[in-house]
Structure 1
Amino acid sequence: MNPHDDLRPAAAPASGTDPLTLVVGVHLVLTDADRVLLGRRRNTAYANGLWHLPAGHMERGEPVTRSMAREAEEELSLTIAEHDLALVHTLHHLDADDGRSRLQLFFRPTRYHGRLRNAEPHKCEELHWWPLDSLPDDTVPYTAHALTEITRGNTLSTVGWAA
């Protein structure tokens, strides 16, 4: 037996057992005392007009921490070192609109630099600080769910799956 046999890729899985490809979303949980920063989405294909955390998707070839730091810079003009991001919640979300499985990662920065501003007004109508215990009714549902779970100290939850 060759000692490197266990390092070779396994044979292709049988049809129907291919590994799942997940969409990975990254979300910034920026808080000030008992308030959280939300933006009202504008001109977007998903959740247009609803309140949502600053967020985006992981791009090919970048780790999730780089994705989050990049989104914070693009959307808020904030510089966050990757090692200053704490993962505070993971949400496995089955999207009812398109049936896709999504992994939503929620990060809280331990520190950041820069002056907070709406750097993408074409995608975000406004930014507003909301009390964590009184989010607007028109918050993206999975966002409201995740913030509730974070407030409760839960680090993992699922949404959209059959009970």
Structure 2
Amino acid sequence: MSHQTRYKSVVDVMVLLHRSDGRVLLLRRAGNVYASGLLAPPGGHLEDGETFIAGAVREVGEEVGVGIAPADLEFCHLMHHRSPDGEGRVGVVFTTQRWSGEPRNREPSKCSALVWANPGQPPADCVPYTAAVLSQFCSGALLSLNGWPTTTGDTA
């Protein structure tokens, strides 16, 4: 009997800060980081032992300096995506319309600008998974695949 290797995945958390005018906050990545020059929402990967919600709150605080009460995070999307090198990753996306403080660039070595964008017409220079997340956010879909070969068994 052969033993399958248990699947393991990096988990990314992203937060769409959603203003009353309908725009969401995107960060222009900069420096020696993945997708430098492109736009992505605040977020990052979970640290060992961290929950989705704790990671989302931490990442937003680190990147744009706002505080979010865990109860104000609303789950809005789950994406199973592949990085450009083919690594499978799970993206958990939250949205919130409530936060404390004014978003500011707290990581100038990793971010060159903050951009409030219309999620229904995202800028052309978004990271590919960001454009996919925004499209799903606008459609209300809860689950999607991005970067995987399509097969007849996929329903997302």
Runs of 4+ in 1 over 2 A off after TM superposition: none
Q: Which residue of 2 aligns with 1:56?
A: 44
Q: Distance in 1 between matches of 2:82 and 2:118?
A: 27
Distance 1:82 1:44, change over 3 A: farther
| Mapped pair 1:72 → 2:92 | no
RMSD of equivalent CA atoms: 1.5
The one-letter amino acid paired with 1:29 is: L
Q: Which residue of 2 aligns with 1:38?
A: 26
Q: Which residue of 1 aligns with 2:134?
A: 147
TM superposition score normalised by structure 1: 0.86
Q: Distance in 2 between matches of 1:20 and 1:61?
A: 18
Q: Contact conserved, 2:120 with 2:134, CA < 8 A, in 1?
A: no
Shift of 1:83: 2.2
Q: 73, 91, 94: which is aligned to 1:104? A: 91
The one-letter amino acid paired with 1:86 is: E
Q: 47, 56, 75: which is aligned to 2:35? A: 47
Q: Distance in 1 between matches of 2:65 and 2:29?
A: 17
TM superposition score normalised by structure 2: 0.89
SS state at 1:72 partner: helix
Q: 98, 101, 107: which is aligned to 1:120? A: 107
The answer for unaligned runs of 5 or more in structure 2 is 151-156
The one-letter amino acid paired with 2:143 is: L
The one-letter amino acid paired with 1:65 is: I
Question: Once the two structures are aligned, what percentage of the paired residues are identical?
Answer: 39
Shift of 1:132: 1.8
| CA distances 1:82-101 after superposition (whole Å, capped 9, x unpaired) | 22211100000022x22211
Q: Contact conserved, 1:86 with 1:110, CA < 8 A, in 2?
A: no
Q: Contact conserved, 1:87 with 1:108, CA < 8 A, in 2?
A: yes
Q: Contact conserved, 1:28 with 1:108, CA < 8 A, in 2?
A: yes
| CA distances 1:106-126 after superposition (whole Å, capped 9, x unpaired) | 111242212221111111100
Q: Which residue of 1 aligns with 2:78?
A: 90
Rg (Cα) greater in structure: 1
The one-letter amino acid paired with 2:111 is: C
